[in-house]
């Protein structure tokens, strides 16, 4: 199993992705990603590769900012000085997201060449994604910096350069696991299911715009709340911030109960499997066979030998079996913290299933036409 020295920063990276300061950036990022363009005619390998490159660019920007933060706090400025400035940046980022969301909602995307997506991993799209990752990291500093500086950045002084680098990469892997899993899932759904129902595209853009608006509004609310706290520690709590923080705490506790290493390995195993499924159609038969064998071996080792089915298969099966009971509690206990996530997951699953069924029926009808 993974040594505890690596497991702790790995878990910290996962938790950092859902920190209460930057929690709104996750749906905001997904809204930003699906609102980038409506070009869903690309092949499956192109969609999957785009999702991988974009999500890893986002995660890379995030961990680079935190690495720079560690160096700055160690050699240049104090942690308190950073904490007093980041709330103002949070408010500014939120204020910038709102006009962009309004423009998309009105059907008038800002005509900024820097933000216009182009095909290929070297396109300017990655610079835009990198900037979003920097913004995500900046708004997360207020909540995530103390633990990061203690357990990750501090490891360079305690353990040395090599060990500190390993710890830092473990943190990056945990952070990237969450972002890559979410983005890749969206890329697959957008490039597969959505492609068969072109009429859904305007609605998807509106959903993305709504996510940008809500995320921007929350960042402003949270930034103002942090500014007030810095001015007066006796400031009354904010119900919006409290609600989001409660949801984040439940997710963090769930990750801790499941084990951060286990959650991270499950995410990376699913990411690897999805990536292989996506890119193999564009590969030669021999390379495709080798990758499929490697994937099967990875599942056998991680899922079978190391976790005996408790990494992905059994947990997913238990959740699926209990899902009807969860749905039955929506009306009896609508304020339960997991209800919004359960509604979102259920609606997405139903939409994807209906889309696949309709596409299959259309394909079957077309196949039997003379």
Q: Which comes out higher in pLDDT, residue 102 or 122?
A: 102
pTM: 0.74
How confident is the model over 186-210, as pLDDT tens digits?
777 655 544 444 455 556 667 667 7
Ordered by start, the domain boundaries in the chain are 4-237, 315-370
**Cβ neighbours, 10 Å, residue 369:** 5
- Confidence bin at 116 (pLDDT 50/70/90): very low
Residue 1 burial (CB count, 10 A): 8
| Separation of alpha carbons 369 and 366, rounded Å | 5
pLDDT computed for residue 321 by the predictor: 92
Q: Which residue has the tokens 């749906």?
A: 27
Residue 354 — pLDDT band, cuts 50, 70, 90?
confident
Inter-residue contact 303 to 269 (CB < 8 Å): yes
* Contact status, residue 114 vs residue 124, Cβ threshold 8 Å: yes
Q: Which of 30-39, 77-86, 92-101, 289-298 has the highest mean pLDDT?
A: 289-298
Taking residues 51-66, report their average pLDDT: 87
Structure tokens, 178: 């969450």
Q: Which of 211-225, 249-263, 283-297 has the highest mean pLDDT?
A: 283-297
């Amino acid at each position: 199993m993974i040594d505890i020295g690596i497991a702790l920063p790995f878990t910290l990276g996962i938790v950092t992705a859902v920190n209460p300061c930057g929690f709104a950036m996750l749906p905001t990022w997904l809204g930003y990603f699906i609102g980038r363009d409506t070009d869903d005619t690309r092949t499956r390998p192109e969609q999957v590769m785009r999702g991988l490159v974009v999500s890893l660019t986002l995660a890379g920007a995030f961990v680079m900012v935190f690495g720079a933060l560690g160096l700055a706090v160690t050699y240049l400025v104090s942690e308190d000085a950073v904490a007093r400035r980041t709330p103002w940046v949070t408010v500014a980022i939120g204020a910038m997201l709102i006009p962009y969301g309004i423009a998309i909602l009105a059907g008038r995307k800002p005509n900024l060449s820097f933000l216009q997506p182009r095909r290929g991993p070297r396109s300017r799209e990655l610079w835009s994604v990198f900037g979003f990752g920097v913004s995500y990291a900046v708004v997360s500093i207020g909540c995530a910096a103390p633990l990061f500086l203690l357990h990750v950045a501090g490891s360079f002084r305690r353990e040395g350069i090599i060990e500190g680098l390993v710890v830092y990469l473990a943190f990056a892997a945990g952070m990237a696991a969450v972002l890559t899993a979410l983005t890749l899932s969206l890329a697959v759904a957008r490039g597969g299911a959505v492609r068969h129902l072109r009429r859904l595209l305007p609605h998807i853009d509106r959903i993305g715009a709504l996510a940008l608006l809500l995320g921007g509004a929350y960042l402003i609310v949270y930034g103002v709340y942090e500014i007030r706290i810095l001015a007066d520690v006796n400031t009354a709590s904010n119900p919006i911030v409290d609600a989001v923080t409660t949801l984040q705490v439940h997710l963090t506790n769930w990750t801790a109960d499941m084990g951060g290493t286990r959650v991270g390995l499950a995410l990376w195993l699913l990411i690897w499997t999805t990536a292989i499924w996506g890119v193999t159609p564009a590969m030669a038969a021999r390379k495709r066979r080798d990758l499929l064998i490697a994937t099967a071996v990875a599942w056998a080792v991680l899922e079978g030998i190391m976790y005996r089915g408790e990494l992905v298969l059994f947990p997913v099966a238990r959740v699926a079996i209990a899902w009807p009971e969860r749905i039955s509690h929506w009306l009896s206990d609508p304020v339960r913290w997991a209800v919004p996530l359960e509604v979102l997951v259920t609606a997405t699953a139903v939409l994807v299933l209906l889309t696949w069924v309709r596409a299959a029926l259309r394909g079957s009808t077309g196949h039997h036409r003379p």
